[in-house]
Structures are given as C-alpha cells and as structure tokens.
Amino acid sequence: MTTTTNTTNHAPSAAAAGTWQLGDRTVNRIGFGAMRLTGMPWDSAPRDRADAIAVLRRAIELGVNHIDTAAFYFLPTRSANELISTALQPYPDDLVITTKVGPTRSDQGEFEPYARPDQLRGQVELNIRQLGRDHIDIVNLRWGSGLDKESGSVAEHIGALADLREAGLIRHIGVSNITTDQLTEAMGITPVVCVQNRYGLTERTDDELVTLTREHDIAFVPFFAVGGSPRGIPDETGQAEVAAVAEAHGATPAQVRLAWTLHRGPHVLAIPGTGNPAHLDENIAAGALQLSDDELARLDGIAPAG
C-alpha cells in the first residue's frame, strides 16, 4: 500500500504512528530526541536559541509526548534541559521526559570518568533541577565508556537507580547502550520499561535485543535510526533501494528509514532529533508512512540481520 506522507492540507501528527505503554504512561511512538537542540560541539556555531525553543513547541503541537534528553547535552552557551524547561513549562500533563545518567562531562565539555553508583543520585537531581520538576519520568542508565557496551555487570548501578525510584526521584527505569545479557541482568533486579540502543536500517547488530524487548513488552527506542554518524555524515548504504521506496511514497529517504524502524514492532519507538522546524515536520510525518511487505523485504536486504 502506498501512502503519501507529505501533504499541504494537514499538519503531520505524532499520533499517526500509534501508541505504546511506556511504564504506566501512554506515548505516541514518534517522539523527539534533544541531543541536537543545542547544536553539536563540532558545529561552527551553536543553534539559534529561539529556533530551538520554536522546534520544541512545534513538536508538542504535533502531538509529541515523549522527549529524550540528558544533562550532558550541552554546549558552553546552550543546555538541552534548560531549553526544554524554558520552552515547555508548564509541562503538558501527558508529556513523558526521559533522561540518561552515567556519563559525566566537565564544564568545558570533556567527558570524565564514568559515574559510580553513589554518584547517580547527584546526576538525577541535576536533571530534576534543570528541567524544573520534582522527579524524572524515566531515567536510563547509559552504560559503558564512550560507545563501549561490552563492559560487564550493570547490577550495582541499576540497584542504585532502584533506590532512587523508591525515594520518589524516578518514576521508571530504563537502560541504554547495553547487551542482551545486561538487559536480562537488569530485569532480574527491577522492572525495565525501555532500552535505548543504536539501531537502524543499516545498523542491525541488536536484532536479538529488539526481539527480547518485544517478548517482555519493553519499549525499544533506537537512536541514530536515520543512519549516519553523530557528526551528521550520512550513511549511503543501500541508497538506491531507499530512494526508490521513498519516491514511491512521495517521501524522503530519512522518512523511509524512520518508517522501517517503526515497522520492526509495535514496541519500537522513534526519537529523531533536529533543530530544524522543516525537518521536525518530516520526521513526525514518517510515522504515517506504511510500507508494503515487498518494500520491507527489499529494505531488509540492504544489511544483514544482527
């Protein structure tokens, strides 16, 4: 079935992708990732503050009710958490804010030694202060040093977050950048509501984790689902196949990649991030894109399953 995602008559809606139960909260499967709100450290200049605030408010207008952020998303003159707080307070009742703890950065932006379990409370409290809330809906333990997720037991850190949930600072617990064994370990300690790993059309190493989360009704929330690198260098693997599917739907290749991700299962959420209002509308519209079985098979063949 062919569905055109771009329309001049109606604004896109995050509700078009359907919903998922994220802990005890219902969210639209298309959300928003705040990492790029400030601009990236290697950009020539930070993003315009007014533009970032406008993008956040536009996201809420389009039905986004799940925002992913972190206190370590900052530049010397910009903080993602502060932008969210400024743009969206008073927060909508249905808005779920997810943050991450574990990595630490100095005031100059350099990554420092990974947080010990006893340091996680300070990180959670920092997010609470920056966001202007009295608790955080979901806190993900962002595991590993750099991009290394093969780094042993998560038990002590997950246990520390469970204590913070009992103290009322956290509503739910998630994990990020982890392996299937680490997820299983975490689930043995406390309920886990989401897993956030790098995953997409050409990044299939976590197919097993997608299956495991589906079996346990845990949300799988991929980052960099559109492909490419954190520095914005596009991934051109399978470019011709993606472009052909995009043309058939009057869509963009990025929309096709997002739609493919959402087709991986009803528990898969998307948190594409941007500081560009036009790109925001395109990302939200991707949730309405329905790919046929033949198109999915064609796209599946671009990269081998993990």
Residue 271 in contact with residue 32, Cβ under 8 Å? yes
> Cβ atoms within 10 A of the Cβ of 279, count?
17
Active site annotation includes 73: yes
CA 158 to chain centroid, in Å, comes to 20
> Cβ atoms within 10 A of the Cβ of 231, count?
9
Taking CA atoms, 71 is separated from 8, 22, 67, 297, in Å, by 37, 21, 13, 39
Which is catalytic among the residues 73, 91, 114, 199? 73
> Cβ atoms within 10 A of the Cβ of 202, count?
16
Task: Report helix, strand or coil for 225.
Answer: coil
Residues 6 or more apart from 251 whose CB is under 8 A from it? 4, 5, 6, 245, 259, 285, 286, 289
Q: How far apart are the first and last CA of the chain?
A: 28
> DSSP characters for 55-103?
HHHHHHHTT--EEE--TT-EETTEEHHHHHHHHHPSPPTT-EEEEEES-
Residue 125 in contact with residue 96, Cβ under 8 Å? no
Say which DSSP state 176 is in: E
Residues 6 or more apart from 252 whose CB is under 8 A from it? 246, 282
Residue 92 in contact with residue 60, Cβ under 8 Å? yes
Residues 6 or more apart from 29 whose CB is under 8 A from it? 14, 17, 18, 19, 20, 262, 266, 268, 269, 270, 287
In single-letter form, the type of residue at position 281 comes to D
Residues known to be catalytic: 73
